[in-house]
Amino acid sequence: MLLRGHLANIRSFTTAVPMRTPPPAPPFSCLCFRRLLLQAAHSSPGGSPAAVAPTNVKRVAAGAGASPAKPAAMSAPQTPEFVRENLFVPPGVDLDEVTEEMVLPGSNIVVGPYAGHAQIKQVEYVKSSARPSDCPKDDRPEFAIVGRSNVGKSSLVNALVRKKEIALTSKKPGKTQVINHFLVNKSWYIVDLPGYGFANAPDSVRMDWSAFTKGYFLKRKTLVSVLLLVDASTPPQQIDLDCANWLGRNDIGMTFVFTKCDKRKAKKGNQPDENIRSFLQLTRKYYKVPPPWIMTSSVTGFGRDDLLLHMSQLRNYWENY
């Protein structure tokens, strides 16, 4: 079956009946989930319900930004504000049976029975491709990391695989100019893409995004999901909204990954949780069901393990379907 079908099914699962009986959840997810429950148990009640997002945003932003030097797992998220309608409910889960504890911290993502092995044991750089047609041609599933220049795509790749410089990062926008494939556990790919919205790259290396989107997103049959990275330290940017809109219109499965959630403003300006809430509100109209979203920081590691767990459930569903 075409990938588009897979993605559409994943995306519309909040209303659809599961297509098949999911496999029993592997023990790893239970353990990981237990850890999250324990974290939640140490938390204090949050504030009033947010207007739009299910917003664990509020509670986790506090945890994420508390101390950039601390590892993420050490931060203590507060109790999520639980808004059932805004959750991303994966295949194999009945919305009516979802409880607060099933939602990953700092996200709207419910963990379901497809969540499984999320540990990265091995990662290797495979190749850099200048054109979509040069990308690896095997059948392994892949996740594409997309976002504005400088949003933190390469940093997220490094954080996910726990290697400092497997993907090259830079303070200057436009560092990544080719499609980089990294093979994880010899079974799936993370793909670091050039950023959009960077006009100053030399013509010789500048990505033609319109040709690229047609060539890659619409034709890449092994694309499980796009991780659309959005900088939580700045208010919503039109170019990100346009990208989210385009992906939504083309029914390409995606997860919003909010980056730089450790960057809290000392005085003026919105905090990451406010920026995230505005962004989600603005993108609501693009989707029939809420896409998954999650807060991260490549500096503290916040959200890393939870994002990997979410990716495992998308991947396992994709592979088993």
The residues of the shown chain that bind Mg ion, judged by CB under 5 A, are 153-154, 175-176
H or E segment at 9?
A: helix 3-11
Strand pairing of 179-184 and 254-259? unpaired
Which of 137, 171, 267, 285 touches ligand GTP (CB under 6 A)?
171
The answer to the question of residue 67 lying near ligand GTP (CB under 6 A) is no
Q: Which is nearer to ligand GTP, 41 or 205 (CB)?
A: 205
Task: Decide if 113 contacts 22 (C-beta within 8 A).
Answer: yes
Binding of ligand GTP at residue 149 (CB under 6 A)? yes
**105, interface contact from Mg ion, ligand GTP, none, CB < 5-8 Å by kind:** none
Q: Say which entry of ligand GTP, Mg ion, none residue 174 contacts (CB below 5 to 8 A, set by partner kind).
A: ligand GTP
- Per CB under 6 A, contacts with ligand GTP among 209-268 are 259-260, 262-263
Who's near 179: CB < 8 A, 6+ residues apart? 128, 129, 130, 132, 134, 135, 191, 192, 193, 194, 216
75 part of the interface to ligand GTP, by CB under 6 A = no
- The minimum distance between CB 69 and ligand GTP, in angstroms, equals 12
* 319, amino acid identity: E
Stretch of 108-116, 147-155, 270-278, 286-294 lying at the interface with ligand GTP (CB under 6 A): 147-155
Q: Quick one: 92 or 197, whose CB is closer to ligand GTP?
A: 197
Partner in contact with 142, chosen from ligand GTP, Mg ion, none, beta carbon below 5 to 8 Å by kind? none
| Strand bridging mode 142-147 / 223-231 | parallel
Region of residue 293 (left: phi > 0; alpha: psi -120 to 50; beta: else) = beta
Cα distance between residue 118 and residue 111, in whole Å: 12
Q: Which residue has the tokens 């569903």?
A: 317
26 vs 132 by CB, closer to ligand GTP: 132
For Mg ion, the closer CB: 207 or 252 = 207
Q: Does residue 275 bind ligand GTP (CB under 6 A)?
A: no
* φ, ψ at 124 (rounded to 5°): -140, 140
To ligand GTP, the closest distance from the beta carbon of 134 in angstroms equals: 19
Residue corresponding to tokens 């499965």 = 253
Output the smallest distance, CB 109 to ligand GTP, in A.
19
Nearest approach, Cβ of residue 184 and Mg ion (Å): 18
Interface with ligand GTP in residues 151-170 (CB under 6 A): 151-155, 169-170
Q: Does 141 bind ligand GTP (CB under 6 A)?
A: no
Work out the angle between the directed axes of helices 153-161 and 304-320 (0-180°, nearest 10).
Answer: 80
Choose, by CB under 6 A, the member of 18, 173, 215, 248 that binds ligand GTP.
173
Rounded CA gap, 257 and 89, in Å? 17
Distances (CA, A) of 77 to 60, 73, 107: 5, 9, 11
Beta pairing class for 293-295 and 188-192: unpaired
Binding at 298: pick from ligand GTP, Mg ion, none (beta carbon under 5-8 Å per type): ligand GTP
CA angle 249, 87, 47 (to 5 degrees): 125
Binding site for ligand GTP (CB under 6 A): 147, 149-155, 169-171, 173-176, 194-195, 259-260, 262-263, 297-299
